[in-house]
Amino acid sequence: MSRTIKKVIVWTVALVVGLPVLLYLILVAINWPDREPSPLAIKMTEEYRANSNGAVDDNGYIDLMGFAVAPGEDPHEMGLKRIEWISRVNKLGKSQAGSDPQGRAYDFKSKRDAKVQTISNACNRDSHQRFVGLECLNAMEDTETLTRWIESESWLLERYQRLLARSEWVDEAPVYAEVGSEFPPYAVVMDGQKLLLAKVMVLAKENQISEMQKLLASDARFWRRVMSSTNILIGKMVAIAALDRHFTMANIALRSLSPDAQQKAIPDEWQRPIADEEKSLHKVMIGEWIFAASIMKNIHGDDWDTLIDPPSVDHAPRRHWYSLLGRPFYKQQATLNNFADIYSRIGAAGDVEYQSLPKSIARCDEELRSQFAGTFSIHSAYNPIGQIVVAMSQSLFSNYIRRVADIEGVRRATLGAVELREALVKRDQAEVALSSSSQRNPYTKEPFAWDAKEKLIVFKGLEKGERGEHHIFY
């Protein structure tokens, strides 16, 4: 072999091997420094600390954390224990912190008879995420079973009412841990709410208007307080679901009263529009950022390998090398700064007037899509893995803005139904009466729609799909 051919081979091999190595080293150099915390990240941290202090004595969040204890036990006492335990887990790890002081949640549903369970299920959401209105309507007419349900689970109703009586709501964003049970037992709380609304129905049948109003006021007041005070996104969504059920089931109960009595049963909490601080996602977006920060700051070992490549027994060696080679391209603080920018932007998109909200959400969605597209551009050599993590985490947030805002439309539509019944408007005249009603769609200022076949008022909100369509029985 001639010397020239050998040189060609050597240079070819050097180029084939050396150029990728050189390019890799250049990328490593670009990604060598992490960023300092951005001014926005610092501000969000400070604001979160100012908003969260779980030590408040009359804090409903503490009761909520221990809500699933057995009858006769104190949910507030258990809530304090569980909050302290979760704090230990995050500091020491699960192996050193011990087990959940509550153990298993108390199973009360297995003791229900079939008719009670049927009624409870009837006012849940169906697979299309709408209330099964007609089934709920029929179930709520079974006063005998409702009374038996209330008597058999009187401890749950009493516990739920004690929760509603708490004057404060201060919670903390979940943090990365080995727990898996950081969230309160919201499902049990929702059963307590259904029980209270069943009680409202029984009171309506007995024409006990004053007692109805007291129960409705306490329920609406509590969940509106959670809406405005929570730092947890799931807490905000639970509050919205609770208020949605509140208006739906309460409206069914009000139909049992004479038209002139219905206005008397409505609490003041129904008359107040959803305030800016209740509608805003600003606090919960900061909470989501705190949660993201806790995850990012605890990624190590197998967690890091999984971030780089999904776990697989067959791919374990490959995942190890991906992890080793990919680590330089994930910068923790730069990623957190990016999250701070995204979450702040989403929160701001919802902090506008109702009529401006559709355009504000559309503009935010377009900005996020543009940013995601930029993740794969030639300008994204710095922190590419962090950019991908952020882009994959932001897709659903704008729909939360829609869901929260839509509850104002539900409130108005429910009031519209009561006002029409008070005016003795017949069903075949309802569509015309709605056109002159003061209660209107908050986004368009147009009258609510009327479904002549089903005899109900329809509010089409901003949330996509059938979940954004709300039915109010007339």
pLDDT of 323: 54
Residue 391 lies in a domain: no
pLDDT at 241 (0 to 100): 93
pLDDT in tens, 434-443: 999 999 999 9
Q: Which residues contact 177 (CB under 8 A, 6 or more apart)?
A: 86, 89, 90, 94
Radius of gyration of the chain measured on its C-alpha atoms: 27
Percentage of the residues of the chain whose pLDDT score is greater than 70: 81
Q: Tell me if 47 is assigned to some domain.
A: no
**Model pLDDT for residues 313-365, shown as the tens digit of each residue:** 445 554 444 455 667 778 889 889 988 998 999 999 999 999 999 999 999 88
Residue 109, C-beta contacts closer than 8 angstroms, at least 6 positions apart: 117, 191
Give dist(CA 291, CA 247) in Å, integer. 32
Mean confidence (pLDDT) of the chain = 84
Domain that holds residue 257: 53-170+183-272
In a domain, 350, yes or no: no
- pLDDT tens, 243-263? 999 999 999 999 999 998 999
**pLDDT of amino acid 137:** 82
- The sign of the dihedral angle between the CA atoms of 263, 264, 266, 270 is positive
Q: Look at residue 394 in the predicted model and tell me its pLDDT.
A: 65
Coil vs helix vs strand at 138:
helix
The string of pLDDT tens digits covering residues 8-64 is 555 565 555 566 666 767 777 777 888 899 999 999 999 988 887 656 789 999 999
pLDDT of residue 181: 55
Lowest model confidence (mean pLDDT) among 102-111, 222-231, 281-290: 102-111
The amino acid occupying position 211 is E
Span 225-244, pLDDT tens digits: 999 999 999 999 999 999 99
Provide the domain count of the chain.
1
Q: Which of 314, 279, 292, 291 is nearest to 462 (CA)?
A: 279
Q: Residues of the chain with pLDDT > 90: what percent?
A: 52
Which amino acid, residue 120? S
List, in sequence order, every residue forming a beta bridge with 447; answer none if it has no partner: 440
Q: How many CB atoms lie within 10 A of CB 216?
A: 25
pLDDT higher than 50, residue 145: yes
